[in-house]
């Protein structure tokens, strides 16, 4: 009698164990799929836009280039800081450029709007400046020194400074907030009339100062690690 009662219980326990094991395996597999999808979708286009805005911000100098190659480069200072945020989330940055000895007299001032590229375009981030000039930035290919790079569309945009008819701009963003800018002016015949011919200006961040404290209330959000961006190649369409 006792052994007869044990058999049904043993059978039920075995079936229940199999069911519980199958359910557990299914949950593990399902959880793994969700985790992979979350990791792949962890970096959105807006994350890339915020990373670019953060990398552009700050005080940077070309002093190293000027010291190594004074015949082609001046020691210039650029200062970029958050100005506001648009309704759609686009970040607006104030930018100024001056000789390092006269930072109070910038010879170039402009506003930039940084936002994700439209889904139909083959780029990640748009950097829109004066005259609605747009630099379309894309992730650099693996193995390159830069993180993002881009340029103005073919033909550049109108510019009349120093005999120019139009100008072009190339921009690349590197680790640690270093940015390379190559602005050039051309006349109607395509001759370069201003801007360095040796290569882009390489601006490196100034040592930590009171800059962060000064503008921290205007920050759009917590800075997104460029290392995280560098290691993530999955771009969401959000």
Please report, in tens digits, the pLDDT of each residue of the chain (238 residues total).
444 444 544 555 566 666 566 655 555 554 554 554 544 455 688 889 999 999 999 999 999 999 999 999 999 999 999 999 998 889 999 999 999 999 999 998 999 999 999 888 888 999 888 666 789 999 999 889 899 999 998 888 888 989 999 999 999 999 888 999 999 999 999 999 999 999 999 999 987 654 444 444 444 334 444 444 444 333 333 3
The answer to pTM > 0.75 is no
Closest CA to 203 of 59, 102, 48, 100: 59
């Amino acid at each position: 009698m006792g052994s007869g009662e044990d058999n049904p219980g043993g059978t039920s326990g075995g079936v229940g164990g199999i069911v519980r094991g199958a359910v557990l395996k299914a949950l593990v597999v399902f959880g793994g799929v969700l985790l992979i999808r979350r990791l792949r979708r962890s970096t959105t286009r807006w994350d890339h836009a915020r990373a670019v805005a953060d990398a552009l911000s700050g005080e940077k100098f070309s002093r190293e280039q000027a010291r190594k190659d004074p015949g082609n480069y001046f020691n210039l200072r650029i200062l970029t800081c958050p100005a506001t945020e648009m309704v759609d989330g686009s970040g607006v940055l104030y930018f100024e450029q001056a000789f390092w000895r006269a930072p109070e007299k910038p010879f170039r001032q402009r506003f930039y709007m940084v936002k994700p590229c439209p889904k139909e375009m083959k780029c990640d981030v748009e950097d829109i400046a004066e005259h609605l000039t747009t630099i379309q930035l894309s992730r650099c290919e693996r193995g390159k020194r830069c993180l993002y790079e881009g340029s103005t569309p073919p033909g550049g945009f109108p510019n009349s400074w120093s005999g120019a008819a139009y100008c072009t701009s190339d921009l690349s963003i590197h680790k640690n907030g270093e940015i390379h800018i190559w602005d050039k002016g051309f006349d109607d015949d395509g001759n370069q009339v201003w801007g360095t011919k040796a290569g882009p200006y390489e601006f490196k961040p100034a040592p930590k100062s009171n800059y962060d404290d000064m503008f921290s209330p205007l920050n759009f959000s917590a800075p997104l690690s460029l290392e995280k961006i560098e290691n993530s190649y999955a771009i969401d369409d959000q």
